[in-house]
Structure formats: structure tokens, C-alpha cells
């Protein structure tokens, strides 16, 4: 497997993003990661000095644009872009979801994906290689009561990614990826104590990281799921 890939990962400070980044860093790949938690970003910088970590809210276009410009200034471009950052609403009927909470879910889960793709993809296009993986959800292909904002956002990720796949040149790929059901902070909010019965991010990443690295042009536009999850 090709070493020393440049991999962009959003939401790198915890959960699935952090688990993926740490597997890839141990393998010798370079991570350009972002998250909103400053203390967690500083901890990542200290533990993984070979990585490049920044405090960025993907919902903020100007912040994403600045981050991407800083990353790309040396003339390199990502080999893999993983849009992982996401929020979930507190479980409630749609009409009881606060307006600000609905907007926050859409801003991060949908607008954030668009911002990161818009900022980094132009640098990838001239080489006509590279893979964009936008994390979706089982709730991006089905629905659940009380989770309408999150479902809407992940259905949007599915459609956005599959349309993007039709726009890419040969040699590239965009894939909407359902990670499966993993024990994260988000799952705790939805499932309560039952969330602890699901796999932890670190064990998931041992399977997901090589699976994602194995994606290529032949997977372009395919809605995939991490095997076993």
C-alpha cells in the first residue's frame, strides 16, 4: 500500500476522525487535520508533530479557505480527503427542534462538506487522481423519528457526493461512506446506555482505515459501508 499519502481529515479531535488519523499517522502518512477543540488540537500537535493540525470550524467558509490555503502553499495536494466532521441534533420531533440547532446541523454536516471540497479539490484536479470520502450514515439511507435534521443532512451528503462523482475527471473518485454504528459521543446522545454495546472508534478504525485507503476510481459514486459495521 502506498505510503506517505497526504490525507485531509475534518473533525480530527475525537471519535472516528481521531481514530482514523492515528492509524494513518502510525503508518507514516501525513495528516492535515482540523477540529474546533483548541486543547485537543494542541494535544494532537504535541503527540504527532509530523501531522498538521488546525483549529477550524468547517461551517465557516473563510476559516476553511484560509486553512486550505495554508496547507496548499507548498505546492502539494491531498491524495485523500475525508469529510468526517458532523453534529447531531438532540432527539426530538422536527417541530420541537430549536431553529439554531437545526441550522447548526446543516451548517456543519452539509455546508462543511461543501466548504472543504471547494477549498481542496481544485488543487487535486490537475493531477487527475485522488479520492474524496464524505462520511454519511445509515440515516443517510434510511430515517428515524426524532432525528430528522441529522437524516436530512446525511441524505444531502449522499446526493451531493454522488453528483460530485459524476463531475470528476477519470482517475478520481467521490464516495459517500456509511461508517456503521460505532460508540461515539454522538451515539451516546441517540442511544443512551445502549451505545456502549457497539464497537469503539479505535477498533473500527483498524478496519476502516485500510478500507478507505483502498478506495479508487473504480468506486466512484458508489454508496459504500465499512465492512463488518
User: In Å, how far are 28, 69, 90, 191, 218 from 157, measured between CA atoms?
Assistant: 30, 24, 20, 23, 20
Q: How far apart are the first and last CA of the chain?
A: 23
Closest to 67 measured CA to CA, from 134, 133, 10, 127: 10
Computed on alpha carbons and rounded to an integer, the radius of gyration of the chain in Å comes to 17
Rounded distance between C-alpha atoms, residue 21 and residue 172, angstroms? 22
Do residues 33 and 58 make contact, with C-beta atoms less than 8 angstroms apart? Answer: no
- List the grid coordinates of 88: 447531531
CA distance 29 to 142: 34
Point out the catalytic residue in the list 53, 150, 155, 204.
Answer: 150
Residue 114 known to be catalytic: no
Alpha-carbon gap, residue 195 to 185, rounded angstroms: 9
Enzyme catalytic residues: 150
Amino acid at each position: 500500500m502506498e505510503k506517505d499519502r497526504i490525507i485531509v481529515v475534518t473533525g480530527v479531535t475525537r471519535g472516528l476522525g481521531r481514530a482514523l488519523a492515528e492509524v494513518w499517522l502510525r503508518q507514516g502518512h501525513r495528516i492535515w487535520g482540523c477540529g474546533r477543540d483548541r486543547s485537543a488540537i494542541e494535544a494532537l500537535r504535541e503527540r504527532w508533530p509530523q501531522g498538521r493540525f488546525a483549529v477550524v470550524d468547517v461551517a465557516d467558509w473563510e476559516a476553511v479557505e484560509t486553512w486550505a490555503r495554508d496547507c496548499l502553499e507548498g505546492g502539494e495536494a491531498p491524495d485523500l480527503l475525508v469529510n468526517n466532521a458532523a453534529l447531531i441534533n438532540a432527539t426530538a420531533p422536527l417541530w420541537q427542534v430549536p431553529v439554531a440547532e437545526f441550522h447548526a446541523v446543516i451548517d456543519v454536516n452539509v455546508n462543511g462538506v461543501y466548504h472543504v471540497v471547494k477549498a481542496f479539490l481544485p488543487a487535486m484536479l490537475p493531477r487527475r487522481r485522488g479520492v474524496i470520502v464524505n462520511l454519511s450514515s445509515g440515516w443517510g439511507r434510511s430515517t428515524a423519528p426524532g432525528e430528522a435534521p441529522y437524516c436530512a443532512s446525511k441524505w444531502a451528503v449522499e446526493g451531493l457526493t454522488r453528483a460530485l462523482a459524476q463531475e470528476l475527471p477519470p482517475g478520481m473518485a467521490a464516495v459517500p461512506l456509511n461508517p456503521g454504528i460505532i460508540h461515539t459521543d454522538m451515539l451516546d446522545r441517540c442511544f443512551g446506555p445502549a451505545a456502549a454495546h457497539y464497537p469503539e472508534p479505535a477498533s473500527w478504525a483498524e478496519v476502516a482505515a485500510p478500507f478507505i485507503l483502498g478506495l479508487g476510481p473504480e468506486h466512484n459514486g458508489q454508496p459504500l459501508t465499512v465492512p463488518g459495521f
